[in-house]
Amino acid sequence: MADAKVTTEFLSDTSDFDRKMDKMVDQNNRLLAQNKLLRRESRDAANAAKEHHEGATRFIGNQVRAVGSLVAGYLSLSRGIQEVIRAYEQKMALEKQMKDVTVSVSDASENMINNMGRVTKAQVQDFQAKLAALNQQYTPKGGMVALTAEAASALSASQSNRPATLAAMEAAIRFAPASAETREQVAGGILDLRKATGVENPMANLGLLKAIGEQSRVTEWAKIAKNLTGGVLGVKEYGGTAQQAGALIAAITQASADVEGRRSATAAIN
C-alpha cells in the first residue's frame, strides 16, 4: 500500500472570507432589526387593538345607554300617549252613549206618540204620567227609557188602546221586572191573547200565556210571547178556542224539538 500524501494549503489572502463574514453579519443585523421592528409593530398593533376594543366598548356602551334612555323615554311617552288616547276614547264612548240614550228617548217618545193615534197634548201627558207612576211603583230595569220604548210597542199591539196598553205593561212588569226585552214581548203577547180570547183582564191572558209556555219546548219567555201567541191568533181564525190553539202549537214544539217556536206556529197555521 502506497503512502498517502497529505497536502496542506495555507491561504495568505483572507479577504474573500472576511467579505463573506461581513455579509453574514450584515444579514444577521438586518434580521435583528427587522425582528425588533416586528416586535414593536406587534406591540403597537396589540396596544392599538386594545385601545380600539376599549374605545369600541365605551362607544357601544354609551350608545346602548343612549338608546336605552331613548327607548325608555319613548315607551314612557308612548304609555302617556296611550293613556291620553284611552281617556279620549272613553270620553267619546261616554258621549256617544249619552247621545244614544238621548236619541233613544227622543225616538221612543216619538214612536209612542205616533202609536197613540189621534190624541191631545193633555192625553199624551196623562199617559206619560201613568208610565212614570209604573216606573216609580215597580222600578223596572231600564227605567223610563225602556218603558217608553215598551209603550210604543204595546200601543201598536193594542191598536192604540191606552188603558189596555197600560194594564198589559203592568202585568208584564210584574212578571219580568229585570228584562226590558221580555217585558216588551210579554206585554205584546198579553195583548195578542186579548184579541184571541176576548178577555180584557191582562192577568187572565198572562195566565194563558204561561200555560202555553210551560207545555211547550220553548224556554225563553220573550220567544214564547212573541212566536207562540202570534200562532194562537192564526190558528184561532180556523175555529176553536185560544186554549185549543195554544195547546196545538205547544204540542208541535215538543214533537219537533222547536226551541224557537216560529216553525211550530207556522206549521199549526198551515
Q: Say if pTM beats, i.e. exceeds, 0.85.
A: no
**Backbone phi and psi for residue 217, each to the nearest 5 degrees, phi listed first:** -85, -10
**Dmax (CA) of the chain:** 170
- Looking from the CA of 212 toward its CB, the CA atoms found within 13 Å total 37
Q: Are 242 and 197 in contact (CB under 8 A)?
A: yes
Each residue's pLDDT expressed in tens, for the chain with a length of 270 residues: 444 454 444 444 556 656 666 666 666 566 566 656 656 655 655 554 455 455 545 554 555 455 455 545 545 555 655 555 565 566 556 555 544 444 466 777 888 999 999 999 999 999 999 999 999 999 898 899 899 999 999 999 999 999 999 999 999 999 999 999 999 999 999 999 999 999 999 999 999 999 999 999 999 999 999 999 988 988 888 888 899 999 999 999 999 999 999 999 888 887
Q: Give me 216's grid cell.
A: 211547550
Q: Are 155 and 112 in contact (CB under 8 A)?
A: yes
Residue 260 and residue 223: Cα distance in Å, rounded? 6
List, as one string, the DSSP characters of the chain. -PPPP------S--HHHHHHHHHHHHHHHHHHHHHHHHHHHHHHHHHHHHHHHHHHHHHHHHHHHHHHHHHHHHHHHHHHHHHHHHHHHHHHHHHHHHHHHHHHHHHHHHHHHHHT-S--HHHHHHHHHHHHHHHHHH--TTHHHHHHHHHHHHHHHTTS-HHHHHHHHHHHHHH-TT-HHHHHHHHHHHHHHHHHH----HHHHHHHHHHHHHHSS---HHHIIIIIHHHHHHHHTTSS-HHHHHHHHHHHHHHHT-SSSHHHHHHHH-
Q: Give me 239's grid cell.
A: 175555529
Q: Which of 197, 199, 171 is nearest to 185 (CA)?
A: 171
Residue 49 and residue 38: Cα distance in Å, rounded? 16
